[in-house]
Structure 1
Amino acid sequence: MASHRRPKQPSRARVTVLTATAAAAVALTSQTAQAAPSAKPTKDEVKSKVDKLYQDAEKATEKYNGAKEKQGKLEKEIGTLQDKVARGQDEVNELRAGLGSLASAQYRSGGIDPSLQLFLSADPDSYLDKASTLEQLSGKQVEALRTIQEKQRSLAQQRQEAGDKLKDLADTRSELGKKKGEVQGKLAQAQKLLNSLTAAEKAALEEEEKRASRASERTALKAQEEPAPKKSAGTEAKSGGSAAAAKPVSGRATSAYAAGQSKIGSPYVYGASGPSSFDCSGFTSWSFAQANQTIPRTSQAQAQIGTRINSQSDLQVGDLVFFYSDLHHVGFYAGNGQILHSPRTGAVVRYESINNMPYMFGVRV
């Protein structure tokens, strides 16, 4: 006979424990999923991100260089104005002392001219309009008063100009600090990414850079040893800048390029302009300085000098070459599609393919 006994129901306490255990398991699974680390970026992904950060840092570096150059100019201009004001005030003081001597002589001879007395005790700039019309002033006194008035007006203008430049200098220093912070921030981000690589990955990246640099150096040096192919007149006429192509590179540009070659292996440092470290425009401006030629400090300003050369086929060794739409990078053309430049933080002055960056145009100095 079959048993019809009802199955035993779990106790309320047992149900509560099971439910709590299940809930805890679900929560633990959820937390584990949330805490699971994201996939570590590959060496190539890190390199791509670091290259972008270095490019952003270089943009900020050229703006930093521009602000630094402006600061230097303003400091010189302010110094010149302050010297002028000081000399002008000395001249005014001497003229006033002369009038004081004249007043003393008049007093000893029987009294001081009332108009001169009024001048010596009041602002001559506001007084002259009245005093110059008085008959009792001699021609010599009027001339002296006019000279003082003109000098005081000039002093007032110079003081105002110096004040304006001081305000501009304060703004420039503020901008300089911001750009410096921006550069340092980008470099810190890049370094953090590089630190995430293993020792083997870092070594692999360094070897890739060295290998590419050696290959570019061999290509550039080979091009300089071989005679450049001659262009026909028709070819030059078709190129985008025949006048620029017909003009040879100057002796100073050749000397500047040679000076740049002597610095191969020097490290890139933002804001540096030699002699042991450089940023991109610091490298080119230092190189030209060795050839006794001064060029602007920033890449954007350097792009405005000399003769522009649009076509890469018209470039000659020693020409300046500019990259990116905002012209934030500059180097020397080294021949055979290679450039010599100071690339970025973590790199050194070296040869590199001109096609590694978006070429804009060249300039023949």
Structure 2
Amino acid sequence: MAAHRKPRQRSLSGTTVRTAATIALAGAATATAFDGTGQAAPQLTPAQVKAKVDKLYREAETATEKYDGAKEQADKAQRRLSSLQDEAARRRLKLNSARDALGLVAAAQYRDGGIDPAWQLALSSDPDRYLDNASFAERAGHRQAGQVARVRRQLREIEQLRGAARIELTSLRSRQAELKRQKKTINGKLDEARRLLARLSPQQRAQVTGAGAGTDRASRSAADARTALEGAGSATAPNSRAAAAVAYAYSKLGSPYVWGATGPDAFDCSGLAQAAYRSAGVSLPRTTYAQINAGRRVSRSELQPGDLVFFYSGISHVGIYVGNGQMIHAPNPSAPVRLAPIDLMPFAGATRVA
């Protein structure tokens, strides 16, 4: 009888092993590609990081201007709402006084029993005196009717105030929702920019953000900086208000950029422009979109110190021109208030405020 032997297993050759390993690795790579894990982030060059970060900062600044505008409108709505509420409270006090007066009249009538006037005349021991009293009562009735009419009018006015307050409250909540949306957008853009910058070495980061550019000037006193520009041939401010705004801007060189800030220690771009002219006694709107229309438009060739210069097609950035082709502006969170050439960004227009 033939013996049944177990088939002998063949060992894998080197070629077979290599082929199997290649297939396995290919499968693993395909699997990780589908589930989104195991992928190394592409290494960006400093130039690519700079392009992305600059774009993120511009988008954040656009959202910042929208935030500033929404905040300005929210503050106005809050003031109007508070004023309406205060006025309604004053009217309610008057209404309560008028109601108290009517209550006294009603109580007196209740005590008198409200007897029909004909019966009162018939039962009166002194008809002449009664007729005198009846004439007085008629006049009192007219006054009472006037009081009732005033109470009704006050009730209508209070209801109108309440309606206006409800409208303002709706507006305020809408502005607050817009603030929340823009704040989320700003923080998202800035967080992404920070993550990109964190991938770079300190030297690359300084190169991308321009850290150190203008630092010597920022560290100097405002007087020294002005002297340096005047020596380079910068023009003189056309009037005392423009000169005061320029002097204020110089005094803030080196101050940090903080979105939504209007000073005195930190600024965003439109916040710096607003604060500079506030120091000169001139009230500017809060946003770049409104500031560009706050004075007389001037061409680039007509620029004088104190003029506001605007950049990008969306009018999302502003600086204060100081002469010699230079401006002072609050650039972005990675750079403090500094001097910069107006050729640094796409020029969109200029306005002479003072």
Give TM-score, length-normalised by structure 1: 0.77
Q: Percent identity at matched positions? A: 39
Answer yes or no: is the 8 Å Cα contact 2:310–2:347 preserved in 1: yes
What is residue 347 of structure 2 aligned with on the other side?
A: 359
Q: Would you say 1:343 and 2:347 are equivalent positions?
A: no
Residue number among 318, 331, 353 corresponding to 2:319 in the alignment:
331
Residue number among 180, 187, 212 corresponding to 1:210 in the alignment:
212
What is residue 111 of structure 1 aligned with on the other side?
A: 114
- 1:155, distance to aligned residue in structure 2 (A): 0.7
What is residue 224 of structure 1 aligned with on the other side?
A: 230
Q: Would you say 1:77 and 2:80 are equivalent positions?
A: yes
Answer yes or no: is the 8 Å Cα contact 1:95–1:144 preserved in 2: yes
Answer yes or no: is the 8 Å Cα contact 1:220–1:338 preserved in 2: no
Q: Would you say 1:313 and 2:301 are equivalent positions?
A: yes
- 1:358, distance to aligned residue in structure 2 (A): 1.7
Cα distance between partner residues in 1 of 2:225 and 2:241:
24
- Deviations, residues 205-263 of structure 1 (Å, cap 9, x unaligned): 46x5424666999998655343749xxxxxxxxxxxxxxxxxx8442232122111100
Q: Secondary structure at the match of 2:71?
A: helix
Cα distance between partner residues in 2 of 1:257 and 1:43:
35
Alpha-carbon spacing, 1:56–1:169, altered in 2? closer, same or farther (3 Å): same
Residue number among 134, 153, 156 corresponding to 1:153 in the alignment:
156
Cα distance between partner residues in 2 of 1:85 and 1:170:
20
Alpha-carbon spacing, 1:98–1:29, altered in 2? closer, same or farther (3 Å): closer
Cα distance between partner residues in 2 of 1:27 and 1:163:
67
**Residue segments in structure 1 that go unaligned for 5+ positions in a row:** 1-10, 115-134, 230-247
Alpha-carbon spacing, 1:112–1:213, altered in 2? closer, same or farther (3 Å): farther
- Deviations, residues 86-117 of structure 1 (Å, cap 9, x unaligned): 11111111111112222233344452899xxx
Alpha-carbon spacing, 1:37–1:362, altered in 2? closer, same or farther (3 Å): same
- 1:308, distance to aligned residue in structure 2 (A): 1.6
Alpha-carbon spacing, 1:346–1:110, altered in 2? closer, same or farther (3 Å): same
Q: Would you say 1:296 and 2:285 are equivalent positions?
A: yes
Cα distance between partner residues in 1 of 2:112 and 2:274:
69
- 1:269, distance to aligned residue in structure 2 (A): 0.8
Cα distance between partner residues in 2 of 1:215 and 1:111:
91
Answer yes or no: is the 8 Å Cα contact 1:106–1:112 preserved in 2: no
- Deviations, residues 151-178 of structure 1 (Å, cap 9, x unaligned): 1111111101111211221221121111
What is residue 280 of structure 1 aligned with on the other side?
A: 269
- 1:361, distance to aligned residue in structure 2 (A): 1.5
Alpha-carbon spacing, 1:112–1:265, altered in 2? closer, same or farther (3 Å): farther
Answer yes or no: is the 8 Å Cα contact 2:234–2:324 preserved in 1: no
What is residue 177 of structure 1 aligned with on the other side?
A: 180
Cα distance between partner residues in 1 of 2:296 and 2:168:
33
Alpha-carbon spacing, 1:81–1:211, altered in 2? closer, same or farther (3 Å): closer
Answer yes or no: is the 8 Å Cα contact 1:213–1:351 preserved in 2: no
- 1:360, distance to aligned residue in structure 2 (A): 1.7
Alpha-carbon spacing, 1:219–1:104, altered in 2? closer, same or farther (3 Å): closer
Please show how residues 128-147 of structure 1 align to structure 2 within 5 Å. Answer: 138-147=141-150
- 1:36, distance to aligned residue in structure 2 (A): 7.4
Alpha-carbon spacing, 1:31–1:38, altered in 2? closer, same or farther (3 Å): farther
| RMSD (Å), alpha carbons | 3.2
Give TM-score, length-normalised by structure 2: 0.79
Q: Secondary structure at the match of 1:210?
A: coil
**Residue segments in structure 2 that go unaligned for 5+ positions in a row:** 1-7, 118-137
- 1:186, distance to aligned residue in structure 2 (A): 0.5
Cα distance between partner residues in 2 of 1:148 and 1:87:
14
Cα distance between partner residues in 2 of 1:268 and 1:287:
15
Q: Secondary structure at the match of 1:146?
A: helix
Q: Would you say 1:201 and 2:207 are equivalent positions?
A: no
Q: Secondary structure at the match of 1:308?
A: strand
- 1:198, distance to aligned residue in structure 2 (A): 1.9
Cα distance between partner residues in 1 of 2:318 and 2:199:
31
Cα distance between partner residues in 2 of 1:66 and 1:163:
22
Alpha-carbon spacing, 1:109–1:195, altered in 2? closer, same or farther (3 Å): same
What is residue 235 of structure 1 aligned with on the other side?
A: none
Cα distance between partner residues in 1 of 2:234 and 2:201:
46
What is residue 87 of structure 1 aligned with on the other side?
A: 90
What is residue 56 of structure 2 aligned with on the other side?
A: 53
Answer yes or no: is the 8 Å Cα contact 2:258–2:333 preserved in 1: yes
Cα distance between partner residues in 2 of 1:55 and 1:280:
12
Q: Secondary structure at the match of 2:340?
A: strand
Cα distance between partner residues in 2 of 1:18 and 1:361:
71
Letter of the structure 1 residue corresponding to residue 109 of structure 2? Q
Q: Secondary structure at the match of 1:93?
A: helix
Alpha-carbon spacing, 1:145–1:250, altered in 2? closer, same or farther (3 Å): farther
Please show how residues 188-267 of structure 1 align to structure 2 within 5 Å. Answer: 188-205=191-208, 208-211=210-213, 223-225=229-231, 226=233, 228=235, 249-267=238-256
- 1:305, distance to aligned residue in structure 2 (A): 1.1
